[in-house]
Structure 1
Amino acid sequence: MNPKVTIIRSQNKSLGEGIHEFWEYRELMYMLMLRRITVRYKQTVIGVAWVLIQPLVAMTIFSIIFGNLVKIPSDGVPYPIFVYSALVLWGLFSEGVSRSGSSLLMEAQLITKVYFPRLIIPLAAVGSSWIDFVVSLFLLLPLTFIYGMRPTWGLLLIPPVMLMTMVLATGVGTILASLNARYRDFQYIIPFLIQIWLYASPVVYSVQIVPKHFLFWYYLNPMAGCLDVFRFAVTGQTTFNWLGFGWSSVCAIAIFTIGAWIFRTVESGFADYI
């Protein structure tokens, strides 16, 4: 039996060849995801509780400032639930972008020594963030019961919104990872970008306060539609715009496509830059 030989050469592969190659290395992506999850919680004092403490603290601060002092409208939902439901989904997005944006630098030794589709690295980084989202979601649902809310059919919307958020995080993360590999300044820009994006998204306020004539442009921010629908999914009381979510989804897919194209264009030089 002839041994399998992998020839590394610079070439533009077709979409079918790229998908086939990616499928061949799928187990590597699973292992990278598992390793990231294990390392994150290994040798920690309170482990997964960190996932709950961060959004709870943010919820408390936002509720005091924006809910009690500023009194921002919350669509008839208690403000703590209003803001915490958004923070749960936002945590999935921000963690995915942060991890994928710095993923190439963290896997520098692997990139310079072993051949595999480099896109696996940011995908594994985003994939490892879903565990935090699930843990936070298990706290959010009991909180809705405490405030007198009951499950509705809207819970069925959680998986597609989660998927679209991860698609967006992957698209943004691959762009930042590509830039971060060449220009190290971007590792400092990533936290700043996430913070600015937080206040540009309906986390502490409702989309309902945005002027109607501005909504088309506002939904160019893909997180606007995702947060809007997710808040309805877990509370069953807020309103959301189907067209807005559809437009945000189109923008998220476009960002993912652009990010994947940029990444594949410059990945041949990653080993040299890193």
Structure 2
Amino acid sequence: MRTRPTSAGGGGGGNARPVAVGAAWSRVRGLWEARRVFRLLVVRDLKVRYAGSALGWLWSVLDPLLMAAVYWFVFTVVLDQSLGLSPYIVFLLAALLPWTWFNGAVTDTARALRVDEKLVRSTNVHREVWVLRLVASKGIEYLCSLPVLALFAVLYQAELHWQVVLLPLAFVLQCTLLAGIGLLLAPLVVLVRDLERVVRIVLRLWFYVTPVIYGSVDIPEAYQAVFALNPLTGIFSLYRGTFFPGEVDWALVGISAVESLAVLLIGWAVFARLERTVLKEI
């Protein structure tokens, strides 16, 4: 007795997963091969950003410092509110500095393909590099601003705890989240120009629903489940754990890790799907 041959549809479905995995691995390998170009673009971004400025790199320190001074004055001097933990300026900076990185990276990566559209179209560099290099350059600016936090920690005699070893974990999680958001938004902004303005509005709202000027203990119990869905809540708890170990909540960190990875996978899939369409538009 002859067996019925497998239908073409069934065979195609079985091969779909290996093809998808192969395509994904090809992109990862391509990014690794482009690491030299990636490094050059990051250095170029950092040089161009402060070119012609009298203070240069100092702005990466002064900007968050002035912002922190405003919030410190408003909440501790004018309003006399007991938000967060003491010393409040250290508590504030521990989350405000990574927020500055997050805000700047999302804003820049969202318009990465549109701003450099000629280079994106004419060069043979993997297009993801144009997005990811902005996450890296903004991350370097964040690292350069850490002496500000260290200075105030010394001035206010904030105690350093062993949770400082968790800073690399927080850094990696934030990089993962930002890479996913950037890869998701960059092609969409090219196709829908108004989305860039929407991103700015969302970031303003996102700031106030993220524990930056307040702590997780200041969140009303009725809203804690909602705030837990914010991936930055768990990530920022790791940053603050350096000086305030009670802020670290591993349940929130776990949620942040899962969400960051999910956003990266979704962002990468959307970018790969829309890449050809974007190249026709720019």
Residue of structure 1 in register with 2:7 after alignment: none
Alignment-derived partner of residue 73 in structure 2? 64
**Amino acid in the other structure paired with 1:128:** S
Tell me, what secondary structure is at the counterpart of 1:67? Answer: helix
Q: Which amino acid letter does the alignment assign opposite residue 95 of structure 2?
A: A
1:246 corresponds, among 247, 251, 254, to 254
- Given candidates 200, 222, 243, the residue that maps to 2:231 is 222
Q: Of residues 12, 21, 27 in structure 2, which corresponds to 1:18?
A: 27
2:140 corresponds to which of 131, 138, 159: 131
- Structure 1 segments, 4+ long, off by >6 Å, are none
- Aligned match of 1:6: none
Other structure's SS at 1:128 match: helix
Q: How does 1:51-200 map to 2 (within 5 A)?
A: 51-200=60-209
The 10-residue stretch of structure 1 (196-205 or 72-81) with the greater mean CA deviation from structure 2: 72-81
Partners of 2:262 and 2:79 lie apart in 1 by 36
* 1:259 Cα deviation after fit: 0.9
TM-score by length of 2: 0.87
Q: Distance in 1 between matches of 2:47 and 2:228?
A: 36
Q: CA deviation at 1:230?
A: 0.7
CA distance in 1: counterparts of 2:76 and 2:264, whole angstroms: 34
Counterpart secondary structure, 1:48? helix
CA distance in 1, matches of 2:121, 2:43: 21
For 1:246 and 1:237, the matched residues in 2 are separated by 17
Which residue in the other structure is 1:257 paired with?
265
Answer whether contact 1:82 1:231 (CA < 8 A) is retained.
Answer: yes
Q: Deviations over 1:122-159 (max 9, x none)?
A: 11111111221111111111210110113221211111
Given residue 194 of structure 1, which amino acid in structure 2 is its aligned partner? L
TM alignment of 1:195-214, pairs within 5 A: 195-212=204-221, 214=223
Contact conserved, 1:94 with 1:169, CA < 8 A, in 2?
Answer: no
The counterpart of 2:36, out of the listed 27, 36, 39, is: 27
SS at match of 2:241: helix
Q: Distance in 1 between matches of 2:228 and 2:79?
A: 25
SS in 2 for 1:178: helix
Cα shift at 1:71: 4.1
Deviation at 1:190, TM superposition (A): 2.5
- Higher Rg: 2
Asked if the contact 1:96/1:166 (under 8 Å) is kept, the reply is no
- The aligned counterpart of 1:232 is 241
> 1:75, CA displacement in angstroms?
4.3
Tell me the residue number matched to 2:10: none
Q: Deviations over 1:153-205 (max 9, x none)?
A: 12111111011112111211222211111111122223222211111100111
Could you tell me the percent identity over the aligned residues? Answer: 24
Normalising by structure 1, report the TM-score: 0.89
